[in-house]
């Protein structure tokens, strides 16, 4: 959602010259040039100012986030950024999330950010690169401001539910679904819908250490869908 300017008090603080130049450049950038401009910002080397001055840029970002979250229909689950042929949209989305993380960390009045519902939606992306970028932005918010705790109850609850789903485990062997079941050539309908993560460990012989056994713990995360097998 775009920033509601009717609820904003115009800032009287001065915008650093380098920030002003970057803001103007991003405001007039096309989608193609916006991608290149944001890619060039690897680390923050600009001044620090109120987020209010970035309102037009954040609204531009919000439009991209909204497009990335769109689905083909109400009963469809795949986001636009995950569909084949939308690679440019995903590239732009990732650099926007990275740039926004830098901006939030080096700005004031972070409560003005108003695209949280899109971030919550993007946590359901099938691309873990997108999910990781969103989690990184949420982490910046959590350590630099109380913005998340000040969200409206519905937005906060939606975010908590999505984060809880990401953290859930399928239960493992103790709940009747172990490694052997993962390796069996059974129809996908036989697998629990919650089976998304597999953790296992094994031992290897270290021949260079005179036959002593060293424990090697492996943790494998594999996200599955109803059309693929764990």
Q: Model confidence over 39-83: pLDDT tens digits?
A: 999 999 998 888 888 999 999 999 999 999 998 766 677 899 999
Percent of the chain scoring above 90 in pLDDT: 39
Model confidence pTM above 0.95: no
Residues 6+ apart with CB under 8 A from 23: 15, 53, 54, 56, 57
Spans of all domains in the chain: 5-167, 173-221
Q: Residues 123-138: what's their mean pLDDT?
A: 92
Q: 223 pLDDT band (50/70/90 cuts)? A: very low
* pLDDT: which is higher, 217 or 143: 143
Q: What angle do CA 34, 134, 31 make, to 5 degrees?
A: 15
Q: What local confidence, expressed as pLDDT, does residue 220 receive? A: 45
Mean pLDDT, the chain, integer? 79
DSSP conformational letter for 9: P
pLDDT at position 222 over 50: no
Q: 34 pLDDT band (50/70/90 cuts)? A: very high
Question: Which one, of 141, 129, 197, 133, lies nearest residue 168 by Cα?
Answer: 197
- Residue at token pair 């950010």: 113
pLDDT at position 219 over 50: no
């Amino acid at each position: 959602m775009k920033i509601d300017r009717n609820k904003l008090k115009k800032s009287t603080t001065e915008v650093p010259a380098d920030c002003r130049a970057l803001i103007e450049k991003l405001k007039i950038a096309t989608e193609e040039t916006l991608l290149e401009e944001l890619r060039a910002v690897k680390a923050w080397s600009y001044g620090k100012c109120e987020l209010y001055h970035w309102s037009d840029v954040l609204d531009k970002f919000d439009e991209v986030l909204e497009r990335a979250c769109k689905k083909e229909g109400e009963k469809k689950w795949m986001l636009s950024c995950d569909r084949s042929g939308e690679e440019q949209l995903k590239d732009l989305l990732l650099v926007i999330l990275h740039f926004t993380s830098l901006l939030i960390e080096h700005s004031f009045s972070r409560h003005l950010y108003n695209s949280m519902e899109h971030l919550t939606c993007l946590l359901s992306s099938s691309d873990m690169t997108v999910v990781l970028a969103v989690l990184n932005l949420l982490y910046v918010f959590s350590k630099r401001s109380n913005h998340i705790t000040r969200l409206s109850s519905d937005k906060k609850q939606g975010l908590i539910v999505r984060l809880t789903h990401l953290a859930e485990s399928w239960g493992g062997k103790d709940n009747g679904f172990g490694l052997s079941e993962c390796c069996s050539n059974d129809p996908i309908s036989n697998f629990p819908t919650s089976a998304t993560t597999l953790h296992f460990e094994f031992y290897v012989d270290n021949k260079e250490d005179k036959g002593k056994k060293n424990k090697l713990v492996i943790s494998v995360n594999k996200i599955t869908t109803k059309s693929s097998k764990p």
